[in-house]
Amino acid sequence: MTATGVVWDPVYLEHVTDDGHPDHPRRLKPLYRRLQDPMVNHRFTTIVPPAATDEEILLVHSPSYLNQVKATATHPASALSADTLTCDRSYPVAAIAAGGTIEAIRQVVAGTLSHALVLARPPGHHAERTRAMGYCIFNNVAIGSMAARTAMGLARVMVVDWDLHHGNGTQHIFERDPSVFFFSSHQFPHYPGTGHFTETGQGPGEGTTMNVPLSRGCGDGEFAAIYQRLLTPVALAFKPQLILVSAGFDIHAADPLGGMKVTPAGFAGLTRLVLDIARQTCAGRVVFCLEGGYDADALADSALAMIDELTGRTSTDVDAMAASADPGRLNTIVDRCIHTHRRFWKELEGQLSKHRRPQNHWSNP
């Protein structure tokens, strides 16, 4: 039986920002302490992360931007954007974050591991092809997606992003690429301001971007039901050969930047749901990658709940979790999204709430 892999390494604490910055090394320290516990550590395989090569980073980012990031290594403190701060170790650490993502994908695709969780920083999903943004330097998941496509021979990759904030960088990198499906749920309106229902991809990629903008206050039930009714039918139709998850823990109820109400049990439920999709579509190949999450204890609790689910210590009843969703909040979101996307994915029709489903003329009243 193959194992669960986890990328974690003290090198990720060497990317140092200002004390008041949300993406400070301290957000990972409680989690890393718990991963050292023999009662936890024996349940997974630790993946040693290499640095991504220039060639791998250039699959997504421009040469001029890569050079801009490299130049930060000569300054003890600088900034790539107003909110993306760096130190002299930020470039090599960011390269190792991207490299750890690629290595986890490589081992999962090869069958050495069943699935993996990448607990690296800096995060990546806001990083655009030519610029840093939102604490993100290199777009780890986008680089991993391209490596899977170009170096590992996969034809279709699905990226699922449940971070509090919309993954603008990932969307923009792949919005014209029909081989990568991008699914994002996120608080809206909220930073960075993108991710409306109507953003569905462009040109040949139209229909392979699905945004689910959410108002504040969604919890475990709403997330489970939304993912059941929207992600599952589309994923089964798209048939990805690999699923990558931008796993943001800032949808946790305690997160200082958020307005959602997800608990560690909710993260376990989302993990189970994605695992079930992966088993039906791509032989279970899924890699979860840390994005946001700025309450250190909430991040640790939630990541450990995901590891419990990945390693079979728990098996969440997603149906029961989804049944607890607030129908008034849920149906408005789901129906609006289906109205936007059913021209691309007929599989969504059956997920319309009862009062919105087309009526058969010959049905009994």
In terms of Cα–Cα distance, which of 239, 244, 234 is closest to 340? 234
Q: Is 15 a catalytic residue?
A: no
Token pair recorded at residue 22? 């949300």
User: Which residues are CB-contacts of 223 (< 8 A; sequence separation ≥ 6)?
Assistant: 162, 185, 251, 262, 266, 269, 270
What one-letter code names the amino acid at 280?
Q
Catalytic annotation, pick one of 125, 126, 172, 341: 126
Token readout for 153 is 């021979």
Using alpha carbons, list the distances in angstroms from residue 292 to 234, 239, 247. Answer: 25, 27, 8
What is the distance between the alpha carbons of residues 58 and 53, in angstroms, rounded to a whole number? 9
Strands 113-118 and 3-7: parallel
Task: Please state, in angstroms and rounded to a whole number, the distance separating the CA atoms of residues 59 and 289.
Answer: 18
- Would you tell me how many other CB atoms lie within 10 Å of the CB of residue 339? 13
Q: Which residues contact 163 (CB under 8 A, 6 or more apart)?
A: 125, 184, 186, 246, 247, 248, 250, 251, 291, 292
Amino acid at 227: Y
For residue 276, the one-letter residue type is D
Residues labelled catalytic: 126
